[in-house]
A and B are shown apart, each in its own frame.
Chain A
Amino acid sequence: MARKLSMKQAINEALDQEMTRDPSVIIMGEDIVGGAGSDGERDAWGGVLGVTKGLYAKHGDRLMDTPLSESAYVGAAIGAAACGMRPVAELMFIDFMGVCFDQIFNQAAKFKYMFGGKAQTPVVIRTMVGAGFRAAAQHSQMLTPLFTHIPGLKVVCPSTPYDTKGLLIQSIRDNDPVIFCEHKNLYGFEGEVPEASYAIPFGEANVVREGKHVTIVGYGLMVHRALDAAAALAKEGIEAEIVDLRTLSPLDIDTVLESVEKTGRLVCVDEATPRCSIAADVSAQVAQHAFRALKGPIEMVTPPHVPVPFSPVLEDAYIPSAERIVAAARRSLKEGKH
């Protein structure tokens, strides 16, 4: 039976159901139980934004509050994964991932490959991504492309509560390390979610809107901006098709190519900075594999190549808006063949 849940509740439910199903699932992170000075039992806070609230009461010591040392506990989670557990490490902001790159890039991502498939690392690193939270340059980045660059890592960034629950369950059941990116400005976004457990396979993009004139590709919060843009474009008689990538590694480029073969126009939207971004990756692959289908130049809508500003006015201007997507779609339709 489906009912409405916020994305935050969907994450909590996925964790709860997987911990109930599989005793090897454990959670580690900063303040995920109660935080400093709390005994964790009476009113455990459940992480910086309360995502894991209530899980300690049900699953007890399978949730572990860690010291403020990402390098230590992410390394510990990866080690536990290599030894047979299925840890979910919560690393508050993706911006802090830098202090544990060796553990992630050089250890977790490489074990299966370097041990000839004899080792596996079923670890999930949950982390908040994205701007718009008035949290300044060190807590607002969309660093997804750093992780898609590394073979051996899987990278997920859902846009709806339904996808969030199904993809997080798949992440926990998957035998490879997964970077699970949660857009902090979508935590309150509600949608229908079945009560029962379900897993959404990786590498399947979702066509969230069908249209024949232009393909808009995005993920996370940008899917919602693209939907707003599509509604505006529809008033001009332009029907946009929107592809939500859902998982960035593996990347379902086939669905993008199929769509571009139909529309002939492509707008890639990405909240990551433009150089070597997901938008750049998708654009390059479409140019390479569907060049003949293109009727006009590929458009990219991204922030400028600067840190996320702290000024609210500048931050709002930084994040790709529906208006900029509309303008890009119009440009893609105006130029080129008709």
Chain B
Amino acid sequence: MSAAITPIVMPKWGLSMREGKVTAWLVEEGAAIEVGMPIVEVETDKIANAVEAPDPGLLRRRVAQEGETLPVKALLGVLAPAEVSDSEVDAYIAGYVVPAPEAGEEEAEPAYQFIDVEGIRVRYVQRGAARRVPVLFIHGFGGDLDNWLFNLDAVAERHPVIAIDLPAHGQSDAKLPGAGLAVLAAFVVRFLDRIDVTRVHIVGHSMGGAIAAQLALSYPQRVASLALINSAGLGAEINTGYTEGFVAATSRRELKPVVEQLFADPQLVSRQMLDDLLKYKRLDGVTEALATLGTALFGAGRQTASPGLQLEATGKPVLIVWGAEDRIIPAAHAANAPPGATVEIFEGAGHMVMLEKASEINAVLKRHFAG
């Protein structure tokens, strides 16, 4: 019978996660659970999120206590149907051993790869079997590939995934190939050439969405479909107070109120998140590159290009996703979606909807790629 027991374990959100803190249980013992239902809140040094049910069943036991810090894959709780006896559940808990990390798993760094594209060293991740068209993730202004922390693994269940740090972002070199959308789209294509990928689905967030749309216009043969998340390029308005504040902030105290604008719930901005952003922003050349990019793409308080408005002509399937409380690019721009596009608006989420509503976004993305 113990085969019917499903463990709920401490997830591994991102390559650097080693442990997490259980902050709150969201369901009572004995409650009926559906797949995808949030069960328990976990906080890491990067972000807080809910662990979701991998299988249906009854929540038979809460093993982890609220406030407890546990390693990745530690047993948090037990799901099982009613016919499994309490003693079987007890035996399962008693016999549970935290699995040792798989070979190579402990070494966080090798999972990131680096490749030279036109003299700029680019960091990226690539994983998943290659039998389907890969999904390329492009982050936004000032972001990096870790913005997709909660999304890559979920999408990788069915599609190979690739996520890039754009030039002057994340751990790619602090150099720009140029500042316009066309130059950046061309750069992403050169990157795909370098890693021998011909055609991709693209998920683009914010500025990354505008790059994705431009790429679909300029290189339609390289793009299977588009998913644009809180995307630039679908209208003129943008909160340049945010982009300029992000560039100008030099201390944690200055950066915090700026970054809080990204989330519907400002509590999600942790000290670690700000420290990581400051570490990035302090690299030589980054501030200058971001200022150049910001001026080129959203100078004079408006977006300078709207490639997203021309997508109908490409005939590509387009998914538009928005957090309703986006304070950077108004969710009203979703109304400018090309005819035939699927539009999903999420209440209670801001600009970083893929972090704030990860499971919902993952479900929507999977449906989109399944066609």
Q: Do A and B make up one complex?
A: yes
Q: Chain A interface (Cβ within 8 Å of chain B)?
A: 1-3, 162, 166, 194, 196-201, 204, 207, 210, 254
Are A201 and B251 in touch, CB under 8 angstroms? yes
Point out the residues of chain A lying under 8 angstroms from B250, CB to CB: 201
Which one of B114, B252, B253, B283 lies within 8 Å of A196 (CB-CB)?
Answer: B283
Check B171 for interface membership: any CB of A closer than 8 A. yes
Chain B count of residues within 8 A CB distance of the other chain: 18
**Distance between A306 CB and nearest chain B CB, rounded to angstroms:** 38
Point out the residues of chain B lying under 8 angstroms from A162, CB to CB: 279
Are A198 and B283 in touch, CB under 8 angstroms? yes
Closest 10 CB pairs of A and B: A197-B284, A198-B282, A198-B283, A196-B283, A1-B171, A204-B251, A201-B250, A196-B284, A198-B284, A199-B282
CA distance A198 to B284 in the complex (A): 5
Check B127 for interface membership: any CB of A closer than 8 A. no
Point out the residues of chain B lying under 8 angstroms from A194, CB to CB: 171, 279, 283
Q: Chain B interface (Cβ within 8 Å of chain A)?
A: 109, 112, 114, 121, 123, 171, 173-174, 250-253, 271, 279, 282-285
Which one of B123, B252, B282, B285 lies within 8 Å of A1 (CB-CB)?
Answer: B123
Are B252 and A204 in touch, CB under 8 angstroms? yes
Point out the residues of chain A lying under 8 angstroms from B174, CB to CB: 196
Q: What are 20 A-B pairs at a CB distance below 8 A?
A: A1-B114, A1-B121, A1-B123, A1-B171, A166-B282, A194-B171, A194-B279, A194-B283, A196-B283, A197-B283, A197-B284, A198-B279, A198-B282, A198-B283, A198-B284, A200-B282, A201-B251, A204-B252, A207-B271, A254-B253
**B284: nearest residue on chain A (CB-CB)?**
A197
Point out the residues of chain B lying under 8 angstroms from A2, CB to CB: 171
**B253: nearest residue on chain A (CB-CB)?**
A254
**B281: nearest residue on chain A (CB-CB)?**
A198
**B174: nearest residue on chain A (CB-CB)?**
A196
Point out the residues of chain A lying under 8 angstroms from B271, CB to CB: 207, 210
**A166: nearest residue on chain B (CB-CB)?**
B282
Point out the residues of chain B lying under 8 angstroms from A198, CB to CB: 279, 282-284
**Distance between B5 CB and nearest chain A CB, rounded to angstroms:** 33
**Distance between B325 CB and nearest chain A CB, rounded to angstroms:** 27
**Distance between A187 CB and nearest chain B CB, rounded to angstroms:** 23
Point out the residues of chain A lying under 8 angstroms from B171, CB to CB: 1-2, 194
Point out the residues of chain A lying under 8 angstroms from B253, CB to CB: 254
